[in-house]
Structure 1
Amino acid sequence: MRFEGHKLIHLIGIGGCSMNGLAQILCAKGYAVQGSDRAESPFTQRLNELNIPVVIGHDPKNLGDADLVIYSAAIKPDNCERQEAEKRGIPQIERSVALGMLSEGYSQVVGIAGCHGKTTITSMVALICEHCDSGDGGAHRMDATVHVGGNVDFLNGGVRIGAHDVFITEACEYVESFLTLRPTIALINNIDDDHLDYYRDIDHIVDAFRKYVNLLPENGLFIGCSDDERVKKLMAEASVKTMSYGISDADYTPGNVTRDEFGNPSFDVMHEGKSLGRIELSVIGDYNMLNALAATVVALSLNAPFEAIKRALGEYKLTQRRFEFMGERNDIRVYHDYAHHPGEIKAALDAAKNMPHNRLICVFQCNSYSRAKTLFCGDRHYMNSADLVLVPDIYPGREVDTGEVHARDMVDALERTGVNAMYIPTFEEIRAFLDSYTQPGDVVITLGSGDVYFQTKKLL
């Protein structure tokens, strides 16, 4: 199936991070697009500004004259609009399949994959595209269409429409959805034991990434972070050209690393022993230095000038929910980060430790019972940079509490690794505790992918 020949494409769940970008790209390519979602959001508002019709709420009538339906993974077969499409014989395709179909329309496709960091890397590349397009030459191949799985301020959403035949997209590993893509350049930032509600174990996850690399054509390019042993092994196995980046022992490395008073790193981009130039970041953390290095390698592989890369990364600010400053109260700064895996949490807290602060207090809300059981009840060392960790009740998401695991079990696991941790059930109680416990100069960072982002506002 292809998009050609369809007169009206209806997207169910059009307000999602990826779906709204898909709608914008299809519209830019000349297709008639409409959609529905259960609630308004900044994404639906952006679509309305672009005159893409969006209906709030699901109803069979919303399909109108649509002759193709695209639905997000969250939209199940019992959705009334999907049932109406089935009744009328309208073809239906899932979001990742549609993204793969879309990628087939470009001669150069860059898929940015990895269990952590792909949204940041992709949005960094998008900003480099903006700078290439507005100062260092439309002749460069970086006027690309970019699809980001997050809300990016400078894009007014999560997509950039470019003029060139290049498509750059996040390549999500969940349920192996990235296997629908046809990349010519594949980047893998890391491989970790995530999404264990779908994958059997880490070997199953690695095999999915191996299949992703095997999608590359003979003249394709595999870019990987050599700091990750699993990625390094895949690079050694690859039959295509490879290019590595990492702290050391890689084709591209950061040299002469310094940090400003806020902990933001600056570094020389080193290639084969020579400095290509210096990048001064406005974001915190060594993991973001590696993310910036990854974006640099992608941009250089697409012939972007280094000066454009340098300017873009120098002004780059993190996307929403990535180390986002939420506000200040009584001389106590409050941040939020989307980190919800032990590796992400450790990176975020290590970065926060480099900020000026008195004490570092972490509030971590686990986003499902299954993740609590598989990831957060063992003896991993991932929160040791915090002076105190507060753990509220587990956010259930789509799951039902079977009584197998509780937030107290997470606290017990943290204490076994030497972390000072407390169970406090609600955010109202957490605020009351912080009011009596915190001192001027303390930093509070909330972590998680559930409703903790909205609950954080209660702490201000």
Structure 2
Amino acid sequence: MYKIDFQCPVHVHFIGIGGISMSGLAEILLKEHFTVTGSDSKESPLTRHLTDLGAVIHYGQKAENITDDIDVVVYTAAVHADNPEFIAAKEHQLPMLTRAELLGQLMTNYKTPIAVSGTHGKTTTTSMISHILLAGDTDPTISVGGILKIIGGNIRVGHSDVFITEACEYTNSFLDFLPKIGIILNVEEDHMDFFKDLDDIRHSFHRFAALLPKDGTLIINSEISQYEQIIAGLNCNVITYGIHHDADYTAQNIQYDNMGNVSFDLIDHGTKKDRIFLSVNGEHNVSNALSAIITGTLLGIDLEKIKKGLLSFTGTDRRFEYKGTLDGVTIIDDYAHHPTEIEATLSAAQHYPHREIWCIFQPHTYTRTKAFFHEFAQALTLADHVILADIYAARETDTLGMSSEALSDAIRELGGDSYYFSSFDEIKNFVKEKCIHGDMLITMGAGDVVNIGESLLSI
């Protein structure tokens, strides 16, 4: 496999450079003095930013974009073998790397690469750790799958040997990574268009853990069912954490303030260390914070600086994000698109000031809707009222017999109050009529449902 070496900058071409992850990797290379070109379907703030940094970007993917001076081509999973630039790169016999392979190669240029994995919570936890690293003056390089306010985007290029990134299990891409510190937040069924079953997913996480070197550390949630199987046979150091399960690090005396923000006692191997205050809500964020605290401790960051970093974290883009208030109705947006995430978000919302909770949910992909149909229905009953938008198909074309209307019916069968509308305009008109002063309106899903709340606030 082609090896990226920061000491020998070359010309790298990105097919699909405008994605949030690809653009971040391109920015790292630009700041390490690589020549970067790329292509994408349309201009965006991310591509304009790269152009300002010196990248040359083509809009529209054409064979002539692959020139003789390119040393290596990087492409996303969305690029198929019939892509004209992919074909041209093969014809030129150029070295080619997937996005995940490039990310793994970048890790080898840092002494302490950190990879945050798990079915849920990767962006939030990576962001929490980033705040701790910055509070601890470690000058890290950060690659996060969302917009993080403290760094003004999704990427920060530091000058130390510390690098942190998310590690996604989909298509086993995280198996191309080479971390020194690995984190496993949770392991559940998801991406069933790729994995066969939960055992298949658990096996992938075991393989990810096995990538850690002997002098590396795995931080793992002890509340993962039979987590001992995932860590079996590892040579690295293993540290556990959990809230409702015995672990090396635990949390006790969890409390919420009048805005729903959570605090807890940090218990380190049975000894209370300190009181930790967060500027986010939800028990799931207590769990995320425990893994972040362990990471900071491993890097020698003082607990006071860890606490300062955590307190400064107010959330990331599309994670229980306050969007505004309209006629006394609080509008929140959240990326939750899995039943466990929905349950965590709606449970956290209970601690936030509200009269009633209205949830506009847009299911993400037919595959996921079919795999978790009943679990979605059950989780959504935690809201006082549910409004279903049509399923966001993403990459899929086969409906598998799934529909949001059927999901709405299933919620009502469980005793929930649920409605279905086929257009965003109908949903906006409905909530304008039904939501009253003091209510909370949550737009939820990984598609474009966020546009509903933003449109309401622009009225």
Shift of 1:207: 0.5
The question of whether the paired residues in 1 share the 8 Å contact of 2:133 and 2:139 is answered with yes
Greater shift, 25-34 or 289-298, is seen at: 25-34
Structure 2 match to 1:38:
41
Corresponding position: 1:214 with 2:210: yes
Corresponding position: 1:224 with 2:227: no
Structure 1 match to 2:27:
24
Shift of 1:211: 0.7
The question of whether the paired residues in 1 share the 8 Å contact of 2:320 and 2:345 is answered with yes
Greater shift, 247-256 or 421-430, is seen at: 247-256
The question of whether the paired residues in 1 share the 8 Å contact of 2:428 and 2:452 is answered with no
The question of whether the paired residues in 1 share the 8 Å contact of 2:267 and 2:273 is answered with yes
Q: Tell me: CA distance 1:340–1:21, structure 2 relative to 1, closer, same or farther (3 Å).
A: same
What letter matches 1:342 in structure 2?
A: P
Equivalence map 1:439-454=2 (5 Å):
439-454=436-451
Corresponding position: 1:162 with 2:158: yes
The question of whether the paired residues in 2 share the 8 Å contact of 1:377 and 1:409 is answered with no
Shift of 1:281: 1.3
Deviation string, structure 1 residues 370-420 (Cα, Å, up to 9, x no partner): 111111245863123200111121122222244612112212332333322
Which of 270, 274, 281 matches 1:273? 270
Shift of 1:78: 2.1
The question of whether the paired residues in 2 share the 8 Å contact of 1:42 and 1:157 is answered with no
Equivalence map 1:401-440=2 (5 Å):
401-402=398-399, 404-440=401-437
Structure-1 separation of matches of 2:376 and 2:51: 48
Q: Tell me: CA distance 1:238–1:112, structure 2 relative to 1, closer, same or farther (3 Å).
A: same
The question of whether the paired residues in 2 share the 8 Å contact of 1:190 and 1:231 is answered with no
Structure-1 separation of matches of 2:413 and 2:229: 32
Number of residue-to-residue matches in the alignment: 452
What letter matches 1:313 in structure 2?
A: L
Equivalence map 1:169-248=2 (5 Å):
169-231=165-227, 233-235=229-231, 238-248=234-244
Greater shift, 287-296 or 193-202, is seen at: 287-296
Q: Tell me: CA distance 1:379–1:276, structure 2 relative to 1, closer, same or farther (3 Å).
A: closer
Structure-2 separation of matches of 1:363 and 1:390: 5
| Aligned-partner SS, 1:382 | helix
The question of whether the paired residues in 1 share the 8 Å contact of 2:181 and 2:219 is answered with yes
Structure-1 separation of matches of 2:363 and 2:228: 30
The question of whether the paired residues in 1 share the 8 Å contact of 2:203 and 2:230 is answered with no
Give the RMSD, CA atoms, in angstroms: 2.0
Structure-1 separation of matches of 2:61 and 2:71: 17
What letter matches 1:3 in structure 2?
A: I
Q: Tell me: CA distance 1:336–1:16, structure 2 relative to 1, closer, same or farther (3 Å).
A: same
Which of 397, 402, 418 matches 1:400? 397
Corresponding position: 1:112 with 2:116: yes
Equivalence map 1:280-299=2 (5 Å):
280-299=277-296
The question of whether the paired residues in 2 share the 8 Å contact of 1:6 and 1:68 is answered with no
| Aligned-partner SS, 1:126 | helix
What letter matches 1:352 in structure 2?
A: A
What letter matches 1:396 in structure 2?
A: A
How high is the sequence identity, in percent, across the aligned residues? 39
Corresponding position: 1:9 with 2:12: yes
5+ residue gaps, structure 1: 134-141
Structure-2 separation of matches of 1:286 and 1:41: 36
Structure-2 separation of matches of 1:49 and 1:131: 29
Structure 1 match to 2:77:
73
| Aligned-partner SS, 1:102 | helix
Shift of 1:62: 3.1
5+ residue gaps, structure 2: none
